[in-house]
Every structure is written in structure tokens, then in C-alpha cells.
């Protein structure tokens, strides 16, 4: 049932202010008639623009994109309260839901709201239970060995590795094998297959969300037709995954009690009496896993390798840990993963500095007070998830890549307590990312194979400068390449 508190105004961060501001009272960059601030927005850099305007106008300010009213929040305490007040006080935005549906994408837990979200969340969490993920671990080992083989070939041929492209292949193959029991081997094939279609969906969704005029509704371009073809191909693959899983489960009823992968676990949960879940919603969550599992994990690994290269002492320490823990083993085990504390700290520090989702737009479902600002239902609130986590006011030496701050060692001022409290790369509250355990496992497995099998010779960008951030729903490093030599190769 929905909470009866939905009918009331919610207030955080006591003491309650005696005077509250309204949307119209808020500062913000000046816009122009009709368009408001729309023409000032650069979608690929909008997260940086939001941070800059936060420095100019304060922790809460306003924007207007055409008729849409936007409130931007950069205070981590208020952001945490917003994230905890889902799904009752805040939902995904109406615009996201409209464009997602318009593109022909089935509903999944990422975009679902209210009771639909609650039902889907139970199903997805059943699949992402750590005990289940551990059972699927051999699939992750297989994919990681393919990645290692691909990088061995590049090292022997002295060719530069397109880091982002290879890591996307790794994460697509992992989620397809581990989550769906499907053999999608893009790492050992130079044909992108499903990946080339997946890569079009998030950028198109992001572009349409920010588009001032919905041109695709007026006249379909070649890019629009290509997108429609890609969505058709992806959904055909998704339907195939589900059909194959149902055939397996029909021939082996024991899979309902002991599923062999995440999809089987989701189907078993969906088929429970009164689950309220149909195959369209299962398909939506298969798609969500493919999209989110590809972009977010691959981007974080790429950022981590880049930051380690820029900080040689951390690279040396991470390498020493991997080689001490994994030894001569060519196939890192689950027991090895559990011992890679410094590598995991590197992952957390990477996500603090380079979160793949630096902002989160939500929509108010009721009248609500955030900070000292009273807002009506239907206002979009953009939470800035990185601003305070890279501020010296909240985290000591915030700009420094210091994985040690996530461990119980060194200067107490550098301890993990403040970083953990402020950094929210997986979100927070009831809608915290259900795949966070799997994501960390994928990150550690990729790094174990890299650092145990190779010496990094160079991580570079097109201009030789630190990687530029490009936002296209997720935050991607632009143009990263890597050159490797095999461990022990002195040539």
C-alpha cells in the first residue's frame, strides 16, 4: 500500500525553517523567453554546467527548459533525503517514461514507479542475490579469460587497445552469459552483434530527453530509422533469451528452485502466484540489465585504469596485491576476489571521482520541502551526486585519487567514513542499484586479469591530456587507448 504520508508535505534536515522559499524565489541562470535555459544546455557537458551553476547560485537553484521547471540540488544531505524518499515522494521523470515507451522499450525496474516498481524490484532482487551470483561465477571466469586472450593478442602485435570498446564487449558478454545463460561472444569475434545495437539506445534516449523540439515525431531521419532497427534487433535477442530460458525450465523443473542464471531466477519469481509480473516486464528487466550492465561497469573500469595510470604509486600497490593474491593462477577464483581489498578500494575511489551517473533527475509526487524550498508535485529535481564528494569541505584532499581512504589505515581525516557517507555511485535508499555486488565482482575480475597478466605500457587520450568527460546518459571517458606487454616480456 502507498503510505498515507503521501498526502502530507515532507520536511528534512531539522530545524524546520520558519520561512520557506518557492520555485520563483530561487536564483539561477537567466534564460530567454519561450526557451528559458534550454539553449544554454550542452547535453554532453550538462553535468559540468550544473556543477558550475551550483558554485555560482548555491546548493539549490532553478532552471526552466521550455515549460519544464527544474530544481538542481547539490547538497549531499538533501540528496540523500531525496533518494530515501523513493518511490513514495519521488519517481523517475514523466519525460523519461514517455520517451522510453515511445521508443518501443518495455517497462523495467529502472524506469518503473510505484507498485509496479515494487513488484519488479522483488523479482530482480531474487536474481541478484549474492548467493545466486556466486553460483554463476564460472561464467564470469570464462568471459574474463576471453578478455585476457584478446589483450594478449594486442600485446603480441604491439597494437593499441580501444579501451572502451573492449570493456563494453567484456560487460555485454558477462551479462549475457552470467545473467541469461546465453552465449554472446563478442570478445572473440570482430562482429559487434548485439553490442552495436545496444550502444545506440542510451545516447538516443538522452538526446531526446534534452531536445527542445521533438523532431523525430515530425520527420524520421536516417538515424531514427537506424535506431528503430537496433531496438528491434535487441528486443528480438531479449525475446530469444526468455524463450530459451522457459524451454530449459520446462525440461528441468528443478531450475525453479535452483536457477542456473539471473533470468531463470527472475522467471521463477515472476511465475509465483500473485506476482503481478508478465513476460513483457521480464523482457524490460532483461533489457535494463543489458543496458545498465554494459555502460556503467565498462565506464568505471576504464576510468579506474586511467586513474591508476595517472597515479603510479597506486598502480604499483594494486599490481602487487593482485600478484600476491592470485599468484601463478591464470584463472582468478571467487576466493581471490574476496581478498582484493585494495583493488576494491580503487573501484570505490574511482566511483567517487568519476561516477558514471553524476546526476539523477527525479520528479516530485506530492508537495514537498527540500532544504528551505517548498515545491509542488510535478517539479523535476536534479540531484548532483558528485558535487560534495569532490569538495575539500567534505572530503580531505578531495581531488586526489587516494584508494587508501576506503581502508582502515593512515590519517583518520582520510578515513572512509566521510567518503562513504557522501559518495553515492549506486544511489541510496530503497532504489539503490540491485546489481552493485555483481558490478564490483566484474570490476575486480577485469583488474585481476589485467594486472596479473600484463604490464601497462601506456594509457593515452587523443590529445595526451587527462580523459575528457562525455555525458550520454552515463559519463564516459573520451578516446582512451591502452598499450600492454605480457608479464615477463622484456622485449
The alpha carbon dihedral of 298, 301, 303, 305 has a sign of negative
Backbone angles phi, psi at 458, to 5 degrees: -165, 140
pLDDT of residue 491 exceeding 60: no
Rounded Cα distance between 438 and 424, Å, is: 17
- Between residues 490 and 276, which one has the greater pLDDT? 276
- Dihedral Cα 189, 190, 194, 199, nearest 10 deg: 140
Burial of 23 (0-12, 13-18, 19+ CB in 10 A): middle
Average pLDDT score over residue span 450-477 = 93
- Between residues 230 and 416, which one has the greater pLDDT? 230
If we measure between CA atoms, which residue out of 298, 302, 262, 259 comes closest to residue 282? 262
- Between residues 118 and 258, which one has the greater pLDDT? 258
pLDDT of residue 195 exceeding 80: no
In the prediction, which pLDDT does 10 show? 47
- Between residues 292 and 50, which one has the greater pLDDT? 50
In the prediction, which pLDDT does 191 show? 61
In the prediction, which pLDDT does 183 show? 72
State what percent of residues in the chain have pLDDT above 70: 91
Please state which of the ranges 157-171, 243-257, 422-436 shows the lowest mean pLDDT. 422-436
The per-residue pLDDT of the chain, averaged, comes to 86
Contacts of 278 (CB under 8 A, 6+ apart): 270
Supply 462's cell numbers: 587523443
**Confidence at 468, pLDDT banded by 50, 70, 90:** very high
Contacts of 170 (CB under 8 A, 6+ apart): 143, 144, 146, 147, 187, 298, 301, 442, 446
Contact 472, 203 (CB under 8 A): yes
- Between residues 485 and 13, which one has the greater pLDDT? 485
Backbone angles phi, psi at 182, to 5 degrees: -105, 140
Supply 77's cell numbers: 544531505
**b/e code 225-256 from CB counts within 10 Å (16+ = b):** eebbebbebbbebbeebbeebbebbeeeeebe
pTM: 0.87
Please state which of the ranges 128-142, 252-266, 350-364 shows the lowest mean pLDDT. 128-142
**Confidence at 127, pLDDT banded by 50, 70, 90:** low
The number of angstroms, rounded, from the C-alpha of 414 to the middle of its chain's C-alpha atoms is: 26
Rounded Cα distance between 382 and 392, Å, is: 22
pLDDT of residue 14 exceeding 70: no
pLDDT of residue 418 exceeding 90: no
In the prediction, which pLDDT does 11 show? 41
Helix (H, G, I), strand (E, B) or coil at 42: coil
In the prediction, which pLDDT does 188 show? 66
pLDDT of residue 118 exceeding 80: no
Average pLDDT score over residue span 138-160 = 93
State what percent of residues in the chain have pLDDT above 90: 54
The string of pLDDT tens digits covering residues 308-341 is 999 999 999 999 999 999 998 889 999 999 999 9
Max avg pLDDT among 27-31, 165-169, 437-441: 27-31
Domains, the chain, ordered by start: 4-486 (1.10.630.10)
The string of pLDDT tens digits covering residues 24-53 is 999 999 999 988 999 999 999 999 999 999
Please state which of the ranges 79-93, 247-261, 319-333, 421-435 shows the lowest mean pLDDT. 421-435
In the prediction, which pLDDT does 18 show? 58
Amino acid at each position: 500500500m502507498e503510505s498515507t504520508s503521501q498526502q502530507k508535505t515532507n520536511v528534512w534536515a531539522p530545524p524546520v525553517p520558519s520561512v520557506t522559499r518557492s520555485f520563483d524565489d530561487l536564483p539561477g541562470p537567466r534564460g530567454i523567453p519561450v526557451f528559458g535555459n534550454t539553449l544554454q544546455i550542452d547535453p554532453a557537458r550538462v553535468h559540468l554546467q550544473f556543477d558550475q551553476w551550483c558554485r555560482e547560485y548555491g546548493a539549490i537553484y532553478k532552471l526552466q527548459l521550455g515549460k519544464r521547471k527544474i530544481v538542481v540540488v547539490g547538497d549531499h544531505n538533501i540528496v540523500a533525503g531525496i533518494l530515501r524518499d523513493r518511490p513514495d515522494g519521488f519517481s523517475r521523470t514523466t519525460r523519461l517514461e514517455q520517451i522510453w515507451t515511445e521508443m518501443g522499450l518495455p517497462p523495467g525496474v529502472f524506469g518503473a514507479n510505484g507498485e509496479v516498481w515494487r513488484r519488479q524490484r522483488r523479482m530482480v532482487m531474487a536474481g541478484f542475490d549474492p548467493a545466486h551470483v556466486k553460483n554463476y561465477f564460472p561464467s564470469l571466469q570464462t568471459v574474463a579469460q576471453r578478455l585476457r586472450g584478446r589483450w594478449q593478442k594486442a600485446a603480441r602485435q604491439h597494437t593499441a587497445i580501444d579501451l572502451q570498446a573492449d570493456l563494453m564487449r567484456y560487460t555485454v558478454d558477462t551479462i549475457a552469459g552470467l545473467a541469461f545463460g546465453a552465449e554472446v561472444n563478442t570478445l572473440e569475434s570482430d562482429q559487434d552483434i548485439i553490442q552495436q545495437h545496444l550502444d545506440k539506445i542510451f545516447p538516443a534516449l538522452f538526446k531526446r530527453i534534452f531536445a527542445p523540439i521533438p523532431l523525430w515525431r515530425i520527420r524520421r531521419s536516417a538515424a531514427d530509422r537506424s535506431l528503430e532497427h537496433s531496438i528491434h534487433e535487441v528486443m528480438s535477442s531479449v525475446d530469444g533469451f526468455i524463450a530459451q530460458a522457459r524451454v530449459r525450465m520446462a525440461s528441468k523443473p528443478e531450475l525453479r528452485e535452483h536457477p542456473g542464471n539471473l533470468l531463470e531466477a527472475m522467471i521463477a519469481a515472476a511465475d509465483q502466484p500473485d506476482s503481478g509480473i508478465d513476460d513483457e516486464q521480464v523482457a524490460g528487466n532483461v533489457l535494463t540489465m543489458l543496458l545498465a550492465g554494459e555502460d556503467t561497469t565498462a565506464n568505471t573500469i576504464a576510468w579506474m585504469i586511467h586513474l591508476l595510470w595517472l597515479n603510479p604509486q597506486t598502480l604499483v600497490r594494486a599490481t602487487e596485491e593482485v600478484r600476491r593474491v592470485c599468484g601463478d593462477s591464470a584463472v582468478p577464483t571467487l576466493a581471490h576476489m574476496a581478498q582484493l581489498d585494495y583493488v576494491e578500494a580503487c573501484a570505490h575511489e574511482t566511483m567517487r571521482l568519476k561516477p558514471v551517473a553524476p546526476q539523477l533527475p527525479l520528479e516530485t509526487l506530492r508537495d514537498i520541502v527540500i532544504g528551505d524550498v517548498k515545491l509542488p508535485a510535478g517539479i523535476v529535481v536534479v540531484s548532483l551526486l558528485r558535487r560534495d564528494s569532490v569538495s575539500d569541505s567534505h572530503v580531505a584532499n578531495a581531488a586526489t585519487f587516494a584508494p587508501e581512504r576506503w581502508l582502515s589505515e593512515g590519517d583518520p581525516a582520510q578515513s572512509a567514513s566521510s567518503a562513504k557517507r557522501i559518495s553515492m555511485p549506486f544511489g541510496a535508499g530503497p532504489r539503490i542499484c540491485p546489481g552493485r555486488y555483481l558490478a564490483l565482482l566484474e570490476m575486480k575480475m577485469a583488474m585481476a586479469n589485467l594486472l596479473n597478466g600484463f604490464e601497462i605500457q601506456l594509457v593515452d587520450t587523443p590529445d595526451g591530456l587527462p580523459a575528457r568527460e562525455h555525458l550520454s546518459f552515463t559519463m564516459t571517458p573520451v578516446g582512451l587507448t591502452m598499450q600492454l606487454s605480457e608479464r615477463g616480456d622484456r622485449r
